[in-house]
Amino acid sequence: MKKLGLLIIALIVVAGVVIAAKNKPSQETSITEEVMPAGSEATSQEVKSGSYFFDPFEITAKAGTVTITNTENQGFHTFVIDELGVKETLAAGTSFSFEAEPGTYAFYCDVGNHRELGMEGVLTVE
Ligand SMILES: [Cu+2]
């Protein structure tokens, strides 16, 4: 009985060392990759939407990943950028991301005639 107990403890210690050794290098690698993708930056922008506006309607971002968080929304609206293939249905409290190269892009709501009523803006990527 005593021997079996010692054997189990020894196995647990060995298993712990093996798991620790296996996990360490791979964790460090994935953290480095996620935090700093080479050559790109991240921009976060909060946008409110309603009838019939985006606030703000002028957004400036850095080239790379652009994350839009819709903090307030009233009605049924979308966020569309044709050139970047972006089309998202807006819902308060949700976010979406897309990649953008430097340039000037029109964004708008494609529901009904909302764009003509004022639901459009400009995204400038530097
Ligand atoms: Cu709309």
Using one digit for the tens of pLDDT, what is the confidence trace for 37-89? 555 789 999 999 999 999 999 999 999 999 999 999 999 999 999 999 999 99
The reported pLDDT for the residue numbered 41 is 87
Residue type, 111: V
User: Is there a cis peptide before residue 52, judged by omega within 30 degrees of 0?
Assistant: yes
Residues near ion ligand 1 (Cβ under 5 Å): 77, 109, 111, 114, 119
The reported pLDDT for the residue numbered 112 is 98
Class of domain 41-125: mainly beta
Q: State the pLDDT confidence band at 32, using cuts at 50, 70 and 90.
A: very low
Domain residue ranges of the chain, discontinuous segments joined by +:
1-36, 41-125
Tokens describing residue 70? 């819709």
- 114 in helix, strand or coil? coil
Distance 30 CA to ligand 1 centre (A): 39
| pTM value > 0.85 | no
Distance 6 CA to ligand 1 centre (A): 69
- 107 in helix, strand or coil? strand
